[in-house]
Structure formats: C-alpha cells, structure tokens
Amino acid sequence: MSKTYQIPKALTTMKSKLLIISQVFEPEIGSGANRITSIYHYISKVFEVEVLTNEPSYPNDFVYQKQDTKKNSNITRSRAYIKHSNNMIVRLFFYAEITISAVLLAVKRSRVDIVFLSTPPLFLGLAALFVKRKKLVIDIRDLWTESLRGIRRYNNPVILCVSVFFEKMLYKRADLIIINSEGFYEPLEQMGICKSKIKWIPNSIEAKEFMLKNAEPSDVCKVIYSGNVGLAQDMDMFLELAADYLGDSSVQFEIIGYGSNYQALRTEMTRRNLVNINILGVQTREETLEIVSKSDIAFVGLVEHPAFENVLPGKIVDYLGLGIPIIGQVSGYSKSIIDAANAGVTFTKDSFRQPAVARALHQLFRNVSYRQALAENAFTYANKHFSASKNYQRLADILLDTMEGK
C-alpha cells in the first residue's frame, strides 16, 4: 500500500506556485510523458501547479483524436503545425516552432515561485528564462548534446557548438537539477555543475502498475518489445533472435511499437520473412502494461554509442516493475541496473554470438523456473528502487527545500 503524502501545515492555507514547461504530457505516449505526468500529480499535492505543453502528436495526431485534452484548466497547450519527421532539417524547424510557442505562452504568465523545466528538447529552456520566477528547476531525461552525437544525425559542428554553449549556460543557471539516471552525474560535473545541486529521481512506477505473475508451463515462450523505435533504439538483435527461432513454434516474438524507424523495422521484417513476429502497433500505457505483463521475456536495445552509456530507458523500469525477465542489448548504466537486479541477460553486438550468451538465452527461453526466479528478482528490485509513491514524494520534499533555500 502506498504511503499517503502528508501536506505540511504551513502549506495547507496557501500553496506556492509552480509552472511545468514540457514538450510532452498526458495523454501522449512514451516514458517522457509518463514521467512528467506522474510528477505533476504528486507535486500538485503541495504546489499550485500549471503546465505549459504541446498538443499530443507523437507518433501522429490520429492516435489522439478521441482524447479530450482541454478538460484540465491548469494545462495550457500549443499546437505544432510542423509534424514529426525523420528529416533533420524539418525536425529542427519542429523544435524551433514548439520553442517559439512556449516562449509566447511563457511571457504571459504571472510570477511563479518555481519553474520546473523538463528536457529534452533543450531549447524549451528559452521559455523558462522568460518566466518571472524565484527558482529554476531542470528535469533532465536525456543529455541533449550527447544524444545528438549518439544518434549521428546532427553532426553539424555549428549546431553542436551552439547546443553545448546553451546547455552549459542553462544548467548553470538552474537552482536545482533533477536527473532520471545516476549515469548523468559525471557528465554534468564535467560541465562544471556542482554535484550538490543535482538530485537523482528515477522514472518510477505507480503502485497499481506493479504486477508479478506466476510463471506456468506453456507451449510458447513470448518475447516482447514495447515502446519507441527511434534513432536511439537498436532492434537488430531482436530481429536476429527472431531469425534464430524462426522454425521453432515454441518461441514467439511481439512488438508494440511506433516511432521514426518503425516503418523501416517492418520493412526489414518483411524482407527477412520473420513471420514469427506479431505486430500490435500503438497502445495506451495501460494497454501496453497489460500486454507486457502477460509476456515471458522483454527486450530492450540501445544504439551502441558512448552517449547512451549513461541512460536508463523507461521501459527497463517498467519491465522490472512488471516482473518480466529482460534481454538487453545494452551496456553502461542500463546493464548495471539489470545486473544489479539479477533480472536478465545482457550483451552487445560483439558478444551476442559468444557461447556463454547463447547458453544464457537458451536457458531463459526453455527454463520456466529460471524465468520465474528472474521475474521475482526484477519485481523485488523495482519495488525497492522505482516506487512512484516514494520517489516522486521525495521530489516534492526536495522542491519544498529548494523553495526554502535549503
């Protein structure tokens, strides 16, 4: 049972004003929107919160046609007319448009006590700087410039130099920095950011979302991938696994996917005739968690680049909370979390064909008792480290301390 947050008596009569600025917010899908929406609900217990965000549009507008995005008067949304695109020039114009829209909305706001800026995209920070405020708090979900280098699509030195300059300037002006990965401590310190103003609040799971099923003997072992198929995700090893078990009806694969590389993934599946992969398409978070919870194994893959050594994808947290053993083509911080939880098998492209990895994967696919042991490990670790009621309430305390200058 989650602990009820006790509102300090000093705040029961008048709450401080906090403005969230974020590109993504519910009902938009993805870990970024999940994170900032959950944070909003928790800190609204102790602050008077407004939100500046965009109309949901990822991966497309059609997904949200039946969603009522105007029911909450505390949420102000702007509409982006430039759509998501794989073209880097178009994407830069998209970021420019949402930044300008955010600035125009920000300058109209009355003075607030805290601006809570969720990044990326980094240049939404311009909007935060235009708001009259006492404190600036930046929630970093990805290190912007490092991510640009990692996806290898924005290699223009001018763009990277401007990004580095603005990133350092913005972080140094922040009164508090929140990170969702402990792997961000070192890069931020290398930018000259004092560690004392950096606080780790990981992506977390609501009490109602924690699930742990008992593994039962079955004729089929289902391996699932859920989430974005974009520039930072690597699905090559998922396809390799499917190809390895193509003639084996006891192992089946499933994808709940969307994103900039999603169509290319489907094209490659068709080219390789991977008929053992079932495609489900876009689902809500609730639907996704329900489907994943009924799977036996979950996959995560990141592009192998130093930029992604420090990240922790939200899907890893979700998989752990659902008690699903993980197959991870990951290294760095993501690998360390899966290994610390003793919740799965990790490898890189270079090590994928090594005998030890092959044996571990074979045991995972064939041994129900082994999967159950890993599932219980995952669930226990998530409950200890990724509980929303603990982490986001701790964030509320940190924000209150920041207001008081502690």
Q: How many domains is the chain built from?
A: 2
At residue 19, does pLDDT exceed 90? yes
385 vs 158: which has the higher pLDDT:
385
At residue 70, does pLDDT exceed 50? yes
Domain span holding position 76 = 9-204+387-403
Rounded Cα distance, 69 and 52, in Å = 13
Of the candidates 351, 258, 242, the residue with the CA atom closest to the CA atom of residue 299? 242
Task: Look at residue 22 and tell me if it is in a domain.
Answer: yes
Residues 395, 266 within the same domain: no
Mean pLDDT of the chain: 90
154 vs 205: which has the higher pLDDT:
205
Residues 234, 301 within the same domain: yes
Task: Look at residue 275 and tell me if it is in a domain.
Answer: yes
What distance lies between CA 143 and its chain's CA centroid? 13
Query: What is the per-residue pLDDT for 269?
Result: 97
Residues 150, 239 within the same domain: no
Residues 213, 339 within the same domain: yes
Rounded Cα distance, 124 and 130, in Å = 10
Task: Look at residue 52 and tell me if it is in a domain.
Answer: yes
Task: Look at residue 190 and tell me if it is in a domain.
Answer: yes
How confident is residue 321, by pLDDT bands cut at 50, 70 and 90?
Answer: very high
**Pairing verdict, β 176-179 and 198-200:** parallel
Query: What is the per-residue pLDDT for 10?
Result: 41
At residue 138, does pLDDT exceed 90? yes
Residues 82, 50 within the same domain: yes
Residues 257, 241 within the same domain: yes
90 vs 23: which has the higher pLDDT:
23
**DSSP category for residue 309:** S
Residues 85, 181 within the same domain: yes
Burial class of 47 by CB neighbour count within 10 A (0 to 12, 13 to 18, 19+)? buried
CATH classification at residue 94: 3.40.50.2000
CB atoms within 10 A of CB 188: 21
Query: What is the per-residue pLDDT for 292?
Result: 96
Give pTM, 2 decimals. Answer: 0.91
Query: What is the per-residue pLDDT for 216?
Result: 67
Task: Look at residue 3 and tell me if it is in a domain.
Answer: no
Of the candidates 337, 99, 365, the residue with the CA atom closest to the CA atom of residue 242? 365
Query: What is the per-residue pLDDT for 271?
Result: 97
Residues 378, 396 within the same domain: no
Residues 361, 393 within the same domain: no
Residues 235, 292 within the same domain: yes
Q: What is the pLDDT of residues 85-119, one digit of tens each?
A: 767 778 778 888 888 888 888 888 888 999 999 99
At residue 404, does pLDDT exceed 50? yes
At residue 236, does pLDDT exceed 90? yes
At residue 53, does pLDDT exceed 80? yes
Task: Look at residue 273 and tell me if it is in a domain.
Answer: yes
Lowest mean pLDDT of 31-35, 84-88, 149-153, 177-181, name the range: 84-88
Task: Look at residue 2 and tell me if it is in a domain.
Answer: no
If DSSP codes are grouped into helix, strand and coil, which group holds residue 335?
helix
Residues 253, 162 within the same domain: no
Rounded Cα distance, 329 and 71, in Å = 41
Task: Look at residue 133 and tell me if it is in a domain.
Answer: yes
Percent of the chain scored above 90 by pLDDT? Answer: 68
If DSSP codes are grouped into helix, strand and coil, which group holds residue 167?
helix
Average confidence (pLDDT) over 216-235: 90
Residues 150, 49 within the same domain: yes
110 vs 381: which has the higher pLDDT:
381
Q: What is the pLDDT of residues 326-380, one digit of tens each?
A: 999 999 999 999 999 999 999 999 999 999 999 999 999 999 999 999 999 999 9
Q: What is the pLDDT of residues 265-288, one digit of tens each?
A: 999 999 999 999 999 988 999 999
